[in-house]
Amino acid sequence: MDGAIAAPRARVRSGSWIALAVVATAALALLGVLLGPVTLSLEQMVTALGEALSGAPPSDRGASAILLQIRLPRVLLGAVVGAGLALSGCALQGVFRNPLADPGLVGVTAGAAVGAVTVIVLGEHLLSGLDEGAVFVLLRPYLLPIAAFLGAGLVTLLIFQLARDGQGRGLSVATLLLAGVAVNAIAAAVIGGLTYVSDDQQLRDLTFWSMGNLGGADWTATLLACAAILLALMGVLRLTRALDLFQIGERAAFHSGVDVERVKWRVGALSALAVGAGTAVAGPIGFIGLVGPHLARLLAGPSHRVIVPLSALMGASLALSSDLFVRLIIPPAEPPIGLATSLIGGPFFLWLLMRRARGGGVA
């Protein structure tokens, strides 16, 4: 805890970190729109954007499609997916008081994967009996994200239910972590089984889905993911004081008037919402959920009022820079984004750790 005199200074410092992160995220988003394998002039982009806003038909169909159908949704999706991952990582690490907690631990990622892989492998088989109604045709392209989102929610709910102890004393964090490990193992087995029965093309599809990709989402899916993740962000921001109190221990938090059970359930639900939506649309993207909050904590200290938004911004920056990297490194081909999140985030994280370990301090 900061002393009474140090507090205002710390606040100024953390405020400036957030401002810096906002600038970095915005700059990376702008670069993401400006740069790509196709070189578009500023004039082309302004024209395309102007035509789109005024509702005029595009004069340059290629430039317009690249800007409006490929780059803009992609950059938006990258920012919110990264933010959602780091945000839930931050909340989960706070509740579990465990620096290694990440969204994978409570089953969100595994659940989403089970949903997605089920649709990839058994989709045609399961749906062949259904009639092709109008609603069904409309939903068909979104079947995979819907299943992934439902899978994420259901598996998280299952793990939280399992961790409730019988005596009505609520959730045990230790049981929750162990139940998470077991359910993740079961989910992996289900995925393994589905992988085994898949044919050649399905096998390739599910391999590529599991690598994550921001490029495959249209506006509808992107905006839905945006809405879900913003909702989760607002939810977690309301829990920042409770998360701070959790750091001195669950019992102490309870005595300070925090409804600890409710906070735990909310964090679980909000994580499932944010990570489930992101994974549903972009596939699993590793590392950001774990490292985003650590970066925020290393920079700005322990206060959740600061590190929740800062984590989200770090996650967004990490996702945007990784996506920019994979788009530009070997055009016209594109390696999976998971490679870059670790390649960029890993050394940056290590550098921060080393600086702190040498006692230099970060700020």
Q: In the complex, which residues of this chain contact another protein (CB under 8 A)?
A: 36-39, 61-62, 65-66, 69-71, 141, 196, 198-201, 203-205, 208, 213, 215-218, 327, 331-334, 336
Q: Which is nearer to another protein, 279 or 311 (CB)?
A: 279
User: Least distance from C-beta 201 to another protein, angstroms?
Assistant: 5
Vertex 123: Cα angle to 121 and 128 (nearest 5) = 130
Q: What are phi and psi of 236, to 5 degrees?
A: -70, -35
User: Least distance from C-beta 141 to another protein, angstroms?
Assistant: 8
DSSP labels, 47-86: HHHHHHHHTPPPSSHHHHHIIIIIIHHHHHHHHHHHHHHH
CB atoms within 10 A of CB 66: 19
Q: Which is nearer to another protein, 261 or 334 (CB)?
A: 334
229 alpha-carbon distance from chain centroid: 8
User: Least distance from C-beta 340 to another protein, angstroms?
Assistant: 14
Q: Which is nearer to another protein, 70 or 353 (CB)?
A: 70
Candidates 97, 92, 101, 103; CA nearest to 250 is 97
141: preceding bond cis by omega (within 30 degrees): no
d(CA 222, CA 214): 10
User: Least distance from C-beta 329 to another protein, angstroms?
Assistant: 11
* Burial status of residue 245 (CB atoms within 10 A of its CB: 0-12, 13-18, 19 or more): buried
d(CA 68, CA 305): 35
Partnered with residue 171 across adjacent β-strands are 164
Q: Which is nearer to another protein, 116 or 300 (CB)?
A: 116
Partnered with residue 164 across adjacent β-strands are 171
Q: Which is nearer to another protein, 130 or 333 (CB)?
A: 333
User: Least distance from C-beta 135 to another protein, angstroms?
Assistant: 20
3-state SS assignment for residue 131: coil
Q: Which is nearer to another protein, 266 or 327 (CB)?
A: 327
Tell me the residue ranges of DSSP E strands in the chain.
Answer: none
d(CA 182, CA 106): 10
User: Least distance from C-beta 262 to another protein, angstroms?
Assistant: 39
User: Least distance from C-beta 111 to another protein, angstroms?
Assistant: 22
Q: Which is nearer to another protein, 36 or 293 (CB)?
A: 36
Scanning the structure block, which residue is given the tokens 């340059």? 60
Q: Which is nearer to another protein, 45 or 91 (CB)?
A: 45
User: Least distance from C-beta 360 to another protein, angstroms?
Assistant: 41
Q: Which is nearer to another protein, 59 or 98 (CB)?
A: 59
Instruction: Tell me 285's DSSP state.
Output: -
Element (H, E) at 220: helix 219-237
3-state SS assignment for residue 4: coil
User: Least distance from C-beta 112 to another protein, angstroms?
Assistant: 17
